[in-house]
Structure 1
């Protein structure tokens, strides 16, 4: 038993020495720093200031597997380059001069639009950093694995990180193309940027909806998708289809009003409430509201009115008026 344990420890020591020789030899040849790609770390941690284009020095604690340690000396925006020329932009990287190695978070790789997958080649495990462009997957980086199971690579600083930083974080160009492309979301913007040419957005940060103000996007959130059971072809334009709901009031604090009538547009959140003292004035109020809408929105004619809960009585005068101006009346069955 002791002999087996001794052989196991010797093998472990040899594997560690081999891993150190591999990392050191690669580091000397490429004049770069060793970096471990880690899926468990929440932030990228770098040892050198040269990777940061904007660094705020402030001591902070970091929680490791064992305990909480005071190892962080600052944080900021960093730019690093992998051996294959892939540039990783990290918005909130941590700076620690006491850390033994640099750590690259999987999260920051994914936020740059790259994908990560594990591949076994000739009984050797690699971590592939890929990019899907024009429907084709391209392998950008091959990160090998050590005998301990950790993935290691080498990083070097970007010479023009200050210039790249200005391009990436300037929202003016991004908002301009966001408006030209029809106000897509951040995920769709990333797909369009990676699969098209003729724009300067490949080196720009993909802003989320909370990073900039877009009036058209805010107004678009007010639109309600109509019910498929009511509209089977496409969404109508504003005021093209109005639904009228007629309800009794059972609350005794409404004064002389015993009923209320609600008009709702099928394509937007426009609505109007009419208080009624008797049911006999329902069509008169509805007719008055139609006249107001025709005067206020002459370019949006009303084409259909759907009446709910009033099928028990009808107004021939109201129906004749609607037919004369081209409005179709529908009743619930």
Structure 2
């Protein structure tokens, strides 16, 4: 979808102070040197006791709102995305984030689609704010704290390592430092079993067992009717098509892109699915920096955007791609055009 008069007015991020290294996890027997060599992660940030996804999202959200210059009453939508436990069950974390950031009477919703949640929220919010003349801005947040025994950040998945933190973005129809030129989403529900792979449960977190993401994948891959090559072909085709489509709608070429901001996936996956398959120049990404963060729930692309603003002096006319993918499977990609270098990045 090509957008007119849609802007990014502010971004924010929050990373907990404590850092845990892969070397420490290996020494403790919670990770292996072989996985570290293959996946590339150096370290992660670890939330303090009592620090949850929503509390960190609220910090990032307040930063994004302050940077946006928008008054609280201008916000007509709040969307919060996440992957893991948010600190309480049968609760509304999106409304908590709203209360702790902009308050008011705007609608507040959760957006969940695995690791693609934040990018999905961007696509949904774009449609919402541009179709309602009484809505000027939307606040998007994503936040997660991955804790045992629910999720083992170093062991639940054989490839991805999860880091704690949060990101936020203000989408506006009035003004901003960057224009949203286009967004595009595509899904393939035939791949949904890859993220399920086990029997149903009657309650959340049954028997207190750690979630086994790798075990679910293995169950899917060992199914008699499973064609691994066909699944890989589907994923590859949708990764390529989603990028091609958003570039087409934005009327730009991949060679025009200065910043390509994707998720902090494992080195082996990034090398194949981003740099090899798509032909992305690794130097345009924040991936090498992101290997010190792990995959921060749904928020990697916006945390990367905040990082390039702070460290790479984007100039008017510079283009950025924000790229997301999540189990289900759903892919969402956006193209932004910088109109100015934000004051907070100077």
After TM superposition, is the score higher than 0.5? no
TM-score where L is the length of structure 2: 0.19
Structure showing the higher helix proportion among its residues: 2
TM-score where L is the length of structure 1: 0.20
Structure showing the higher strand proportion among its residues: 1
Give the greater-gyration-radius structure (CA). Answer: 1
Which has the higher relative contact order, 1 or 2, with Cα contacts under 8 A spaced 6 or more apart?
2
